[in-house]
Amino acid sequence: MIRVEAKIGEINALLARVSGATPAALAVGALRGAQHVAGEIRSTLFDVVRGSSQSPLTGRLARSWRERLVVAEDQQATAEAYSDLAYARIQDEGGTITPRVRKYLAIPLVRLPVGKWPRDWPAGALSFVPTRRGGVLVRRAKRGRGEAVYALVRSVRIPAKRYVETAVRKAEPEIPAIMDAAIQGELARGGVR
Protein backbone atom coordinates (compact mmCIF):
# COMPACT_ATOMS: atom_id res chain seq x y z
CA MET A 1 0.00 0.00 0.00
CA ILE A 2 1.23 3.50 -0.89
CA ARG A 3 0.04 6.41 1.12
CA VAL A 4 -0.04 9.89 -0.39
CA GLU A 5 -0.39 12.64 2.13
CA ALA A 6 -0.90 16.25 1.14
CA LYS A 7 -0.58 19.00 3.66
CA ILE A 8 -2.57 21.91 2.30
CA GLY A 9 -0.55 24.50 4.22
CA GLU A 10 2.76 23.28 2.71
CA ILE A 11 1.27 23.15 -0.79
CA ASN A 12 -0.07 26.70 -0.47
CA ALA A 13 3.33 27.90 0.78
CA LEU A 14 5.06 26.22 -2.19
CA LEU A 15 2.58 27.78 -4.64
CA ALA A 16 3.16 31.20 -3.07
CA ARG A 17 6.94 30.81 -3.53
CA VAL A 18 6.49 29.61 -7.14
CA SER A 19 4.20 32.52 -7.98
CA GLY A 20 6.73 34.92 -6.42
CA ALA A 21 9.39 33.65 -8.81
CA THR A 22 7.08 33.64 -11.81
CA PRO A 23 7.24 37.36 -12.81
CA ALA A 24 11.03 37.26 -13.07
CA ALA A 25 10.95 33.94 -14.94
CA LEU A 26 8.27 35.23 -17.31
CA ALA A 27 10.26 38.40 -17.97
CA VAL A 28 13.38 36.34 -18.73
CA GLY A 29 11.36 34.00 -20.95
CA ALA A 30 9.67 36.86 -22.80
CA LEU A 31 13.01 38.58 -23.41
CA ARG A 32 14.61 35.34 -24.63
CA GLY A 33 11.62 34.80 -26.91
CA ALA A 34 12.04 38.30 -28.34
CA GLN A 35 15.76 37.60 -28.82
CA HIS A 36 14.85 34.45 -30.74
CA VAL A 37 12.39 36.35 -32.95
CA ALA A 38 14.94 39.14 -33.61
CA GLY A 39 17.49 36.49 -34.58
CA GLU A 40 15.02 34.88 -36.98
CA ILE A 41 14.26 38.29 -38.51
CA ARG A 42 17.99 38.89 -39.05
CA SER A 43 18.41 35.45 -40.59
CA THR A 44 15.36 35.90 -42.83
CA LEU A 45 16.59 39.29 -44.03
CA PHE A 46 19.98 37.89 -44.97
CA ASP A 47 18.18 35.07 -46.84
CA VAL A 48 16.03 37.64 -48.70
CA VAL A 49 19.14 39.59 -49.70
CA ARG A 50 21.01 36.46 -50.83
CA GLY A 51 18.04 35.47 -53.00
CA SER A 52 17.77 38.83 -54.76
CA SER A 53 19.82 41.31 -56.72
CA GLN A 54 20.04 43.67 -53.73
CA SER A 55 23.32 45.07 -52.51
CA PRO A 56 24.88 43.46 -49.43
CA LEU A 57 24.62 46.89 -47.78
CA THR A 58 21.08 45.91 -46.76
CA GLY A 59 22.73 44.02 -43.88
CA ARG A 60 22.33 47.28 -41.95
CA LEU A 61 18.59 46.60 -41.74
CA ALA A 62 19.17 43.07 -40.45
CA ARG A 63 21.66 44.26 -37.85
CA SER A 64 19.23 46.95 -36.65
CA TRP A 65 16.77 44.43 -35.17
CA ARG A 66 16.97 44.31 -31.36
CA GLU A 67 14.87 43.07 -28.47
CA ARG A 68 13.64 44.82 -25.35
CA LEU A 69 11.51 44.14 -22.30
CA VAL A 70 8.45 46.34 -22.50
CA VAL A 71 6.37 45.46 -19.43
CA ALA A 72 7.04 43.19 -16.47
CA GLU A 73 4.35 43.45 -13.83
CA ASP A 74 1.53 41.50 -12.16
CA GLN A 75 2.32 38.02 -13.50
CA GLN A 76 2.65 39.34 -17.04
CA ALA A 77 5.76 40.09 -19.06
CA THR A 78 5.96 41.53 -22.56
CA ALA A 79 9.01 41.82 -24.76
CA GLU A 80 9.35 42.83 -28.39
CA ALA A 81 11.67 42.64 -31.33
CA TYR A 82 12.06 46.05 -33.01
CA SER A 83 14.12 48.07 -35.45
CA ASP A 84 14.68 51.80 -35.07
CA LEU A 85 15.46 52.29 -38.76
CA ALA A 86 12.92 54.49 -40.51
CA TYR A 87 12.72 52.21 -43.55
CA ALA A 88 12.26 48.89 -41.69
CA ARG A 89 8.46 49.01 -41.98
CA ILE A 90 8.28 49.98 -45.65
CA GLN A 91 10.82 47.27 -46.53
CA ASP A 92 8.55 44.74 -44.81
CA GLU A 93 5.10 45.99 -45.85
CA GLY A 94 5.95 47.74 -49.12
CA GLY A 95 4.74 51.15 -50.25
CA THR A 96 5.58 54.24 -52.24
CA ILE A 97 8.40 56.57 -51.26
CA THR A 98 8.16 60.22 -52.27
CA PRO A 99 10.59 63.07 -51.57
CA ARG A 100 9.88 65.23 -48.54
CA VAL A 101 12.41 68.01 -48.99
CA ARG A 102 13.50 68.03 -52.63
CA LYS A 103 11.67 67.63 -55.91
CA TYR A 104 13.22 64.24 -56.76
CA LEU A 105 14.55 61.12 -55.07
CA ALA A 106 18.19 60.38 -55.96
CA ILE A 107 18.92 56.72 -56.73
CA PRO A 108 22.61 55.84 -57.04
CA LEU A 109 23.48 54.19 -60.35
CA VAL A 110 27.13 53.45 -59.52
CA ARG A 111 28.83 52.17 -56.40
CA LEU A 112 29.39 55.13 -54.09
CA PRO A 113 30.39 55.46 -50.44
CA VAL A 114 27.45 54.79 -48.13
CA GLY A 115 25.54 57.99 -47.48
CA LYS A 116 27.00 60.04 -50.35
CA TRP A 117 24.16 61.98 -51.91
CA PRO A 118 24.07 64.72 -54.57
CA ARG A 119 24.21 67.47 -51.92
CA ASP A 120 27.56 66.06 -50.72
CA TRP A 121 29.30 66.70 -54.06
CA PRO A 122 31.15 69.98 -54.71
CA ALA A 123 29.22 72.63 -56.64
CA GLY A 124 29.38 71.99 -60.40
CA ALA A 125 30.64 68.39 -60.08
CA LEU A 126 27.30 66.96 -61.27
CA SER A 127 25.21 68.08 -64.23
CA PHE A 128 21.44 67.62 -64.53
CA VAL A 129 20.15 65.91 -67.68
CA PRO A 130 16.33 65.86 -67.94
CA THR A 131 14.49 62.64 -68.84
CA ARG A 132 10.82 61.69 -69.22
CA ARG A 133 10.51 60.39 -65.65
CA GLY A 134 12.74 62.94 -63.93
CA GLY A 135 16.40 63.25 -64.71
CA VAL A 136 19.92 61.98 -64.35
CA LEU A 137 22.85 63.55 -62.56
CA VAL A 138 26.00 63.08 -64.61
CA ARG A 139 29.61 63.37 -63.47
CA ARG A 140 32.01 64.74 -66.04
CA ALA A 141 34.68 62.29 -67.06
CA LYS A 142 38.23 63.24 -68.06
CA ARG A 143 37.68 62.57 -71.76
CA GLY A 144 34.55 64.66 -72.17
CA ARG A 145 32.07 61.79 -71.73
CA GLY A 146 29.85 61.85 -68.69
CA GLU A 147 29.01 59.04 -66.29
CA ALA A 148 25.45 58.80 -64.95
CA VAL A 149 25.77 58.79 -61.15
CA TYR A 150 22.18 59.25 -59.90
CA ALA A 151 18.74 58.74 -61.39
CA LEU A 152 16.23 61.34 -60.21
CA VAL A 153 12.62 60.18 -59.89
CA ARG A 154 9.47 61.58 -58.27
CA SER A 155 8.58 58.34 -56.44
CA VAL A 156 9.70 54.76 -55.98
CA ARG A 157 7.46 51.77 -55.31
CA ILE A 158 9.01 49.33 -52.82
CA PRO A 159 7.56 45.80 -53.05
CA ALA A 160 6.55 44.09 -49.80
CA LYS A 161 9.12 41.55 -48.60
CA ARG A 162 7.10 40.29 -45.59
CA TYR A 163 10.29 39.26 -43.81
CA VAL A 164 8.82 39.88 -40.32
CA GLU A 165 5.83 37.62 -41.01
CA THR A 166 8.11 34.88 -42.36
CA ALA A 167 10.48 35.14 -39.39
CA VAL A 168 7.66 35.05 -36.83
CA ARG A 169 6.23 31.92 -38.48
CA LYS A 170 9.67 30.27 -38.24
CA ALA A 171 10.21 31.38 -34.61
CA GLU A 172 6.72 30.66 -33.24
CA PRO A 173 7.12 26.91 -32.58
CA GLU A 174 10.16 27.54 -30.36
CA ILE A 175 8.60 30.15 -28.06
CA PRO A 176 6.82 27.71 -25.66
CA ALA A 177 10.07 25.78 -25.15
CA ILE A 178 11.97 29.02 -24.52
CA MET A 179 9.39 30.14 -21.93
CA ASP A 180 9.42 26.72 -20.27
CA ALA A 181 13.22 26.71 -20.09
CA ALA A 182 13.21 30.18 -18.49
CA ILE A 183 10.72 29.10 -15.82
CA GLN A 184 12.54 25.83 -15.18
CA GLY A 185 15.84 27.71 -14.95
CA GLU A 186 14.41 30.16 -12.46
CA LEU A 187 13.07 27.31 -10.33
CA ALA A 188 16.38 25.42 -10.52
CA ARG A 189 18.40 28.54 -9.61
CA GLY A 190 16.52 28.76 -6.40
CA GLY A 191 13.85 31.22 -7.38
CA VAL A 192 11.60 28.99 -5.30
CA ARG A 193 12.65 28.52 -1.68
Which residues span the domain enclosing 149? 99-154
* pLDDT interval class at 6 (50, 70, 90): very low
In a domain, residue 82? The reply is yes
The count of domains in the chain is 2
| Residue 72 DSSP code | E
Q: pLDDT by residue (tens digit) across 144-165? A: 678 899 999 999 999 988 888 8
Residue pair 25/186 in contact (Cβ under 8 Å)? The answer is yes
In a domain, residue 3? The reply is no
In a domain, residue 110? The reply is yes
Domain shared by 57 and 145, yes or no: no
Nearest CA to 118 out of 99, 98, 127, 54 is that of 127
Residue pair 149/137 in contact (Cβ under 8 Å)? The answer is yes
In a domain, residue 1? The reply is no
Q: pLDDT by residue (tens digit) across 71-98? A: 756 656 788 888 998 888 998 899 999 9
- d(CA 174, CA 156) in angstroms, rounded, equals 37
pTM of the entire structure? Answer: 0.68
Domain shared by 48 and 130, yes or no: no
Domain shared by 14 and 66, yes or no: yes
For residue 2, pLDDT beyond 80: no
